[in-house]
């Protein structure tokens, strides 16, 4: 059973409107933790086997951004917890083929 988590991380008070540098830091944290993810235009989809990982992932992301001098981070997440059928990024992409 997998959880699909969509996340968007917004650094507050950075003095620049550009966010892409910080998005790359998020990707580096996910890669370092071996988390499977799909970079969509303005949110990132993650695939988690165990939802209790979620807080540790967010902590590592926020700590990495804080080490860049960021003092406030507002994140938004959608968590899809499906228990009757296998859930995966591939499955979701398959069923939404337009």
Cβ proximity of 69 and 62 under 8 Å: no
85 in contact with a copy of itself (CB under 8 A):
yes
Q: State the burial class of residue 14 (Cβ atoms within 10 Å of its Cβ: 0-12, 13-18, 19+).
A: middle
Q: What is the DSSP letter of 27?
A: H
25 in contact with a copy of itself (CB under 8 A):
no
35 in contact with a copy of itself (CB under 8 A):
no
Binding site for a copy of itself (CB under 8 A): 4, 6, 8, 10-20, 23-24, 27, 38-43, 45, 50-56, 58-59, 62, 66, 71-85, 89, 92-93, 95-96, 98
């Amino acid at each position: 059973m997998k959880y699909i988590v969509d996340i968007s991380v917004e650094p507050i008070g950075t003095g620049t409107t550009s966010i892409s540098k910080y998005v790359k830091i998020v990707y580096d944290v996910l890669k370092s933790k071996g988390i499977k993810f799909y970079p969509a235009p303005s949110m990132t989809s993650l695939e988690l086997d165990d939802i209790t990982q979620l807080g540790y992932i967010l902590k590592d992301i926020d700590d990495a951004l804080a080490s860049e001098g960021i003092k406030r981070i507002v994140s938004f997440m959608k968590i899809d917890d499906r228990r009757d059928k296998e859930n995966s990024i591939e499955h979701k992409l398959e069923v939404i083929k337009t």
